[in-house]
Structure 1
């Protein structure tokens, strides 16, 4: 009935008076898109999440990095905190400018809200321990680095796997997102390209990022019979080799280059990975590039072992 009146050009106030609807009620429900018997426009879906938060220095911190910090908190002494206290921890320790609603959303995505968190994990937790590494493919370290595409105002992700003996990047992935499936595929490709049939498999060391705590990652480690060890919270020195490589990536590439497109960023990373493995000299590798050092060591008939204590 109201639609017929409006189509005939009647003034809204007259129609509301005839129908006995208060104007305040009509305009409030129209704004919220609630059905009133009068045709209204659909409610706006709202502003999309930007994918990052700012810290007190004005630096953009990706949601994925914030989720990694949240996982470190709930794996540590703050495991009993709710999302409100976790929000305060992020503000105090990381200098983040964010509200509790966003932290609630990120915790919900991770499944770490108190009522949703599982009591037991199917895959047991193995803490990282000091190791003496005497050859390649004994210990690989794995982590995620965040880059930024200025032209899109979005982050991209570089997942890298490094062999701590010869510093070779044995596998990497880059993309606008980095979920557990991408991590699993990258690890499986690295195993196939690096190892011969029947060769002993490396220990995989990671931090407590959500991708590495996922069921998918636990399943591939179980299938491949890999030992997956995680560093304790707040101990990045136990993942020092991959952290060092990502520091080089930040210094040599990300701090010097502003990317307009994802394609430009990916091509730049591909070029750097090739340079790093084949041509970048390392003082700790007899001033040789990682792949050259690896081949040189394997060719020595009677060599003194090179040790890396982790």
Structure 2
């Protein structure tokens, strides 16, 4: 037979209170580990079996909350996602995604610091008058996860001024991209700043992004929900990126995806001919325009 616990504790000089407290603490830690559950996969499937990233779902939720359905709670928004986009998704996940964006119904009513500015019809005659910004999603088959490519494009010369690529894309990344794009075009010393046009993605309605626009003196306007034609130039570039780059590779790692995508963007800017730019690449067109060798055609948006 073994010895009593109390006797052993007296021999080793440990009080019973400390012993049982530590034993209870270890038991609670093991219990919490068992309740952890599986990690969130980061995507949901459509009824046709296509994986859709959580970032894209959050963008759809932002569009739903910017239109007639802005009065809906997470349960009705779940129904909208199922009907409009064919998603297989439950209301618990929709609640979590809305909570991550701080857009559950009670909080949504308080977000009035930066009123929404709708995209206006414009005629663009020079570079740096209107920039478009949007996100493209890519998939890494070898790691079974998505990556993000956030680009800023000039509507007149079609150049991808700068971009962010990573495994996450938040408002802080979009805010940093504004700063880098202004620096690339050497606009900090100039009074005239571009208008930046985006959709209603969570990155672009965040306080950190709106504060950056205010700090850097740029005007931010957002297109109405379900009107990608208002962001036609960045959408056209993303179509090229999909057809000429993403669809041609099955990425085994993020490093491979980064090298190939960044290489394609360099090719697009420096060497790829563009029909609306006199068959010049965007950087060639901008250089010829600055030298007075060609005349730009006005772009109506």
User: Which band: TM-score by shorter chain?
Assistant: 0.7 to 0.9
* Cα distance in 1 for residues equivalent to 2:28 and 2:103: 42
Q: Equivalent of 1:275, from 241, 261, 267?
A: 267
- Within the alignment, does 1:251 sit opposite 2:243 as a pair? yes
Partner of 1:125: 116
Whole-Å Cα distance in 2 between the matches of residues 180 and 39 of structure 1? 37
The match for 2:145 is 154
CA distance in 1, matches of 2:49, 2:196: 35
User: Where does residue 21 of structure 1 map in the other structure?
Assistant: none
1:136 deviates by: 0.3
SS of corresponding position for 1:272: helix
Equivalent residue runs for 1:14-93 within 5 Å: 41-42=30-31, 43-93=34-84
Matched, 1:184 2:175: yes
- Structure 2 CA distance, aligned partners of 1:235 and 1:186? 24
Aligned partners of 1:41 and 1:273: how far apart in 2? 49
The whole-number CA distance in structure 2 between the counterparts of 1:198 and 1:41 is: 60
TM-score normalised according to structure 2 size: 0.88
Where 2:44 maps in the other structure, the secondary structure is: strand
Give the corresponding residue for 2:156: 165
* 2:280 matched residue in structure 1: 288
For residues 198 and 30 of structure 2, what CA distance do their matches in structure 1 show? 50
Aligned partners of 1:274, 1:231: CA distance in 2, in Å?
28
SS at match of 1:198: coil
Question: 1:203 and 1:193 mapped to 2: Cα distance?
Answer: 16
1:60 Cα offset (Å):
0.6
Q: Match of 2:18?
A: none
Gaps of 5+ in 1: 6-34
How many Å separate the matches in 2 of 1:122 and 1:111? 14
Tell me the TM-score normalized by structure 1: 0.85
Distance 1:287 1:103, change over 3 A: same
Report the CA distance shift for 1:39/1:176 in structure 2 as closer, same or farther (over 3 A): closer
Partner of 1:202: 194
* CA displacement at 1:107 relative to structure 2: 1.1
The answer (yes or no) to whether the contact 2:289–2:295 under 8 Å persists in 1 is no
Give the aligned CA root-mean-square deviation in angstroms: 2.0
Q: Is 2:297 the partner of 1:297?
A: no
Query: Could you tell me how far apart the structure 1 residues matched to 2:258 and 2:141 are?
Result: 13
Deviation string, structure 1 residues 166-212 (Cα, Å, up to 9, x no partner):
00000101000011111111110110111342252110000001111
